[in-house]
A and B are shown apart, each in its own frame.
Chain A
Amino acid sequence: MTAKDTSVTCGACGVKFETNEDYLKHKCSKTGFTPTQVEHFDALSNGRFSKQSAKAQARGEEKNK
């Protein structure tokens, strides 16, 4: 039986981390931010992440009126 590989490779910078916790804490060399920061996702999507998020929030607020 093969042991589960608990390492995580960052899809952005390609660096491999021993644990998911380590991955979430790392400052990605491609974005300059950690994978817990919106800026990380904005850097990878030319700012689309925040724009999409803002639109979704507006839809939600409209729905809740």
Chain B
Amino acid sequence: MAGTIQINEFNTVGETKTANITNSNMGDADAVNLNPVTYPVTPGENTYEKWQKIEVTAMGGSSAIDNFKIWRTGALGGSAVHLTNARIASYGGAETFATPVKTDSSVATETMPTTEPATANLGIGGSLTGSLTATGSSDYLVHQIQTDAGDVAGSTSTMNYQYDETA
């Protein structure tokens, strides 16, 4: 039996949690499962940051869950860049929630990987070598897309969230 894992998102000043989100659509609103057509980003501006966590809701017989790796597959529109706090070196530890902003993120500053990272890039308890031995969550994953004034179209890509389970 496998553990059960979900992605949660936190929004607004109150850090309001929506569990098991259905998508990670990004746009001009601090909202979960948003419709990007309703909230398009003006070229040259940014999406609101996404603040998300991976939550283990049941261990399912596993003794440990760790090695969280996050990356995106698929190209962005125009010359937009996708930035995150996830990284395999110089990890900043567990971020403290701050209301999502659409100004340049001070937390998401590293380019989102587009292939599977060699090692964990999202921590548990502030450490990339952290491990969950009971239900709980990862550190915050923070990410934001920053567009260029010449970008005229959005894009669709896939976020990958990977982890290891030890029996």
Contact = CB atoms under 8 A, between A and B. Distances in A.
Do A and B pair up? The answer is yes
A9 to B, nearest CB: 5
A8 B6 CA distance: 13
B25 interface: no
A44 to B, nearest CB: 7
Interface residues of B, number: 23
By size class, the interface of chain A is: 20 to 34
Nearest to A10: B19
Given A35-B4, A41-B6, A44-B20, A5 B14 contact: yes
B74 to A, nearest CB: 19
Contacts of A35: 4, 6, 19-20, 57
A37 B17 contact: no
Nearest first, the 5 A-B pairs at minimum CB distance are: A5-B14, A53-B2, A36-B58, A11-B20, A5-B16
A10 B20 contact: yes
B2 A36 contact: no
Nearest to B58: A36
B4 A36 contact: yes
B111 interface: no
B16 A9 contact: yes
Nearest to B59: A36
Interface of A: 2-5, 7-12, 20, 23-24, 35-38, 40-41, 44, 49-50, 53, 56-57, 60
Contacts of B12: 5
A12 B4 contact: no
B153 interface: no
B2 A38 contact: yes
Nearest to A41: B4
B95 interface: no
Contacts of B13: 2
Interface string B70-82: 0000000000000
B17 A8 contact: yes
Contacts of A41: 4, 6
B1 A38 contact: yes
A12 B20 CA distance: 7
